[in-house]
Structure 1
Amino acid sequence: MDPCSEPTGLREAPTSSSNLKLLVVVLGDHDKQNERRAAIQQLDPRFHEPITPTDTSILSQPIAKLIENVHSGELTPLTVLTVLTAYTKKALAAHAQTNCLSEILVESAQRWANSSKFSAENLKEKRNLESLPLAGGPVSLKDTVGVEGYDSCIGYSAWVGKPFPRHSALVRLLLDAGAVPFVKTTIPITNQPYNKGYSPGGSSGGEAALLAYGGSRVGVGTDVAGSVRVPAHYCGVYSIRSSAQRFLKAGNATSMPGQEGVSPVYSPMARTLDDLDTFWQAVMSMKPWKYDPRNDPGLSGTGLNLAAQLLLADGGKVAIKPVRFGEFNDPGMVQAMRMFSLPRPQYPLLLGGDGGWDFILTVPNALPAVPHGGMKDGWKSCGYTFLWNLLDYSAGVMPIMHVNSVLDRLAPRFAPRNAIEKGAYDPVSMSGLPVGVQVIGRRLEELKVMEGMKIIEGLLTKEGIQYEGIKI
């Protein structure tokens, strides 16, 4: 159970020693929830006041405009705190609706926002303007990001009460760039901002829910199989899955240490495409490699020899008895295999060269947001995102439209072929949920992908189609 998830009902107290572990988990969950609740309640009263027209004006500004105002001297350290106040109010409102916050960093954020580096005297020199590309900009972070003095539980009760002793490389970069990290966001269980009965996706679901609600403009998530792209698709926000090592991961929490085959990558998320572009350019301008000069270790000869001896000790015989096999009769899989086996004359054309292809456009997922627990059947559709992780390709997601209960209804003759089709899709209950598109480029082509997203957005605008998210 995620210790940041609010309990949905009372549980029976454990009655035997065999339930001791359950008791420890429950107590850890409640301790973390109480700690978060107390952190919110103890905030200065101004953070609990209603959102004012001034706050709304601040929240409506692109992140680039806020940064520009700091650089111009229009926003001083005192007014940077005003920006922080507006975003904290909105983030708390988002949390009340979606359970999207895991850690409240506001006490530390006030110190960072009140820094002398935002003073007019310090910003007079062009050198200082260039070194603070995110000056005064509030940034939200997924719970995995290591922030000094705060937990990164990522759903583990055993990690409650174990604050990070130092900032991760990414946090140090953001602070040096002038950003103001102010909250950390949850992994599931979190509610979808458009419909509480649905999931915002995962595992960066809290980040997507906060952005969609307007409680942040830019944030950071992680992606190992679609974990920034699926939430962006479900919640109607923007994200780009960056190639490995573009956004720093050193010093952050992970439940998969040493996994390098398909590396979890830290990637930006944003409320608008312009915000995403601004955030990406700012982080790259800070030369991330200076914060984490990563060197891939060479293969260990000793390790290879040991592995070879273990595998060949019995003549290469592999035991499969513990593995249970069964007949797999999913009609959808049968149909897919039949399609894949048909002659495809265009394959040689695709494999023979780049053919002038700029991008690949796909859906991010077979479905819009699914009900809580819906991915038990819907996980098979993760191939739309996971493939690009395997290739380490750049892939962005942008919202296009909302589900329309009339236009998107199933045809009367439709016959379900698999578990997903038997009940996961319901255009009536899903009405109004966001629907996105995925834009894929090659490895390290994040800027090119974002240009492709801009082209798509521009073409839609010409057709009079403009995505409308939750109003601030």
Structure 2
Amino acid sequence: MLPPFDYFTYRRIRNQKQKERTLRFSSLPFEYTLHITKKDRNIIDQPIEELVHDVQDSAVSPLDVLRTYGKVAKRAQERTNCITELLLPEAETWLGSEINLKGPLAGIPVSLKDSIHVKGFDATVGYASKANQPLLDDGPMVKLLKDAGAVPYAKTALPITLLSFESANGLWGTCRNPHVPSYSPGGSTGGEAALLAQGGRIGIGSDVAGSVRVPAAWSGIYSLRCSTGRWPKAGVSTSMPGQEGIPSVFSPMARTLDDLTYFTRAIIGMQPWKYDHSVHPIAWRSELETVPQDKALRIGLMSSDGVVPPTPAIERALQTTVTALLEAGHTVEEITPPPTANPFTGLNLASQLLNADGCHHFNAPLKSFEPSDPGAIQLSRIAHLSRPLRYLYYLYVRYIRRDTVTADLLRNFGPKSSAQLWTLTAAREAFRAAWHNWWDSDSQQFDFILCPVNATPALPHTAMRDAVSSCGYTFLWNLLDYSAGVIPVGHVNPIRDALSSPYKTALKRLGADNGIARGAWKHYDSAKMAGLPTAVQIVGRRWQEEQVLGYMAVVEKALESYVDPQTGTNCRYPLLEID
């Protein structure tokens, strides 16, 4: 249908899909409407490794486990609008016919980002044009999960375009942060994070610039960004088909670190390269997972990405972690990244690679006036400027507004020819080589790098129109293809984390008075953000998922032993109460 008349098609599809979702929830068997019982709480709190054994020993029924998590999903949806497609009725059928209850994930319910292919359901990625096209078969990832004994039970919210730390789209609506509803749960795997924070168990999301790590940090859970080729990615829909400059990776998320580790180990143990040709045949290396208790680690600290300094709440979380590690006997040293491959150079390079099509692909499926993401709209406006106009805008930002950081990002942002893309790809490989040689040098033999996940805690809805480019703390590691995990640390305190001066003054004092930093800091308000989670990021090298999980355990242990001298208590952020 020709625009603008397809706007009415969008509205019809939106209303239809939301009505179908409401009907699926309201028509659930009565078991899903009951209160959370003591038995349910035991299932929710039990480590999944133990729960698997209980299912296989017939000490607990896999149907009871599924119904427990169905109750959790129903309550989570009411609070946060985190679910797109509810799979529960079908999941009960799969338990009796398709799920291998002898596998390493026997009976464990797993939620999935909306983009993952499940037979009988759409994979809309939030676009109305992709609705009403149910998949005829499970994708390789879902086939692997069922063979492992896992039970897919819900698909979760994401942002249209998949390029946002928000999780909203016109088809399904806005997903809310489970701690403070007026804030985002993160993106693009925000629905997963919101569900897991409210009692969900295990989830799978995708990450191209921080999309499993920022939601984990903003919602108070754990995640692991795997290197390319370590986790299956076939059988999914995407907003940017063919984009390989910064490959998207699918990766695990969980409510606890023990569950994250067990789940990752179980999936790799299923030999995913037999399901997906893009997976490298790298078996799980258990010997790399455990860090000797008496080993003093040498930890590199990247306290700032040089573009957007951490806000007070994030700075406190980072310093708390550093102090805890020092008290545990480890060494922490500030790093100096390679001068030719610093984080800002990486942000500029990664931004051009990711959007080398001039933002064409993620806009193409949109129907007329279908809502898009505020940040993606900003990127598209710049990309669609003619080269002369973009250059004039660059000159204005650089010499009139005197913002060299934003100007440098603007100058070459736009559609690239094949020759230009090849040049950028060569620059990416040179950038990776510089970091490889830097980390290999005698003076930089760090076990891992500790850094923020994002400069801010969760941001309010629609803030991406200002903060879309504030992604350097995660995007850098995508460019390098390093493994990276997220651990929650504490929560925003309205008094301790308050700004001592207006944000523009604070940024000038920090030497970071640029448009990217201002776009993120303008939304920082410790009083409104009170109670939001804070987190840190643990970064290893490529294909070091085992080591990163082991180092996350070291950081977790140090934080659990640390006592805040100001309060006399432990700083760890408690899991949300499940009622």
- Number of the residue aligned with 1:446: 545
- Number of the residue aligned with 2:207: 223
- Number of the residue aligned with 1:166: 137
Aligned partner of 1:294 among 267, 273, 278: 278
DSSP-derived class of the 2:490 partner: strand
2:229 paired with 1:245: yes
Deviation at 1:336, TM superposition (A): 12
Aligned partners of 2:193 and 2:253 also within 8 Å: yes
Task: Write the mapping of 1:298-317 to structure 2, written as runs, cut at 5 A.
Answer: none
Distance 1:443 1:336, change over 3 A: farther
In 1: Cα distance, 2:154 partner to 2:233 partner: 18
Deviation at 1:351, TM superposition (A): 6.4
Work out which of the two has the higher radius of gyration on C-alpha atoms and give 1 or 2: 1
Aligned partners of 2:33 and 2:71 also within 8 Å: yes
In 2: Cα distance, 1:426 partner to 1:391 partner: 32
What amino acid does structure 2 have at the position aligned with 1:100? C
- Number of the residue aligned with 2:70: 88
Deviation at 1:218, TM superposition (A): 0.6
What amino acid does structure 1 have at the position aligned with 2:75? A
In 2: Cα distance, 1:424 partner to 1:272 partner: 29
Deviation at 1:353, TM superposition (A): 1.2
2:250 paired with 1:266: yes
DSSP-derived class of the 1:243 partner: coil
2:199 paired with 1:209: no
- Number of the residue aligned with 1:433: 532
In 2: Cα distance, 1:251 partner to 1:110 partner: 22
DSSP-derived class of the 1:400 partner: strand
In 1: Cα distance, 2:556 partner to 2:404 partner: 34
Aligned partner of 2:523 among 424, 428, 432: 424
Distance 1:155 1:349, change over 3 A: closer
- Number of the residue aligned with 1:105: 87
TM-score by length of 2: 0.67
Aligned partner of 1:43 among 12, 22, 28: 28
In 2: Cα distance, 1:348 partner to 1:446 partner: 17
Aligned partner of 2:494 among 405, 417, 421: 405
Distance 1:295 1:356, change over 3 A: closer
DSSP-derived class of the 1:436 partner: strand
Deviation at 1:421, TM superposition (A): 6.0
* Per-residue deviation, residues 275-300 of structure 1 (Å, max 9, x unmatched): 1001000000000000112399xxxx
Deviation at 1:73, TM superposition (A): 2.8
Aligned partners of 1:185 and 1:207 also within 8 Å: yes
Deviation at 1:263, TM superposition (A): 0.9
Higher alpha-carbon deviation: 270-279 or 403-412: 403-412
In 2: Cα distance, 1:31 partner to 1:371 partner: 28
* Per-residue deviation, residues 281-340 of structure 1 (Å, max 9, x unmatched): 0000000000112399xxxxxxxxxxxxxxxxxxxxxx9346453122566756999xxx
Task: Write the mapping of 1:336-375 to structure 2, written as runs, cut at 5 A.
Answer: 350=438, 353=441, 355-375=444-464
Deviation at 1:257, TM superposition (A): 1.5
2:540 paired with 1:471: no
- Number of the residue aligned with 2:380: none
DSSP-derived class of the 1:393 partner: coil
DSSP-derived class of the 1:114 partner: helix
What amino acid does structure 1 have at the position aligned with 2:397? F
DSSP-derived class of the 1:34 partner: helix
Task: Write the mapping of 1:187-206 to structure 2, written as runs, cut at 5 A.
Answer: 187=158, 188-189=167-168, 190-206=175-191
* Per-residue deviation, residues 202-248 of structure 1 (Å, max 9, x unmatched): 1100000000011x211000000000001001000000110112221
How many residues are treated as equivalent by the alignment? Answer: 410
DSSP-derived class of the 1:372 partner: coil
What amino acid does structure 2 have at the position aligned with 1:320? R
Aligned partners of 1:204 and 1:227 also within 8 Å: yes
Distance 1:118 1:20, change over 3 A: closer
In 2: Cα distance, 1:231 partner to 1:238 partner: 9
In 1: Cα distance, 2:50 partner to 2:67 partner: 17
Aligned partners of 1:70 and 1:118 also within 8 Å: no
In 2: Cα distance, 1:348 partner to 1:207 partner: 33
TM-score by length of 1: 0.82
- Number of the residue aligned with 1:340: none
Distance 1:168 1:334, change over 3 A: closer
Aligned partners of 1:401 and 1:434 also within 8 Å: yes
Distance 1:135 1:377, change over 3 A: same
* Per-residue deviation, residues 123-154 of structure 1 (Å, max 9, x unmatched): xxxxx5xxx01001010000011000001111
- Number of the residue aligned with 2:147: 176
Distance 1:332 1:461, change over 3 A: farther
Percent identity of equivalent pairs: 43
Task: Write the mapping of 1:378-397 to structure 2, written as runs, cut at 5 A.
Answer: 378-397=467-486
**Structure 1 unaligned spans of 5+:** 1-16, 120-127, 297-318, 338-346
* Per-residue deviation, residues 410-453 of structure 1 (Å, max 9, x unmatched): 12376153433662100000011001101111110011111111
In 1: Cα distance, 2:204 partner to 2:110 partner: 8
Aligned partners of 1:247 and 1:267 also within 8 Å: yes
Aligned partner of 1:456 among 529, 552, 555: 555
Aligned partner of 2:52 among 67, 71, 91: 67
Distance 1:295 1:201, change over 3 A: closer
Deviation at 1:379, TM superposition (A): 2.0
Aligned partners of 2:49 and 2:259 also within 8 Å: yes
Deviation at 1:170, TM superposition (A): 0.4
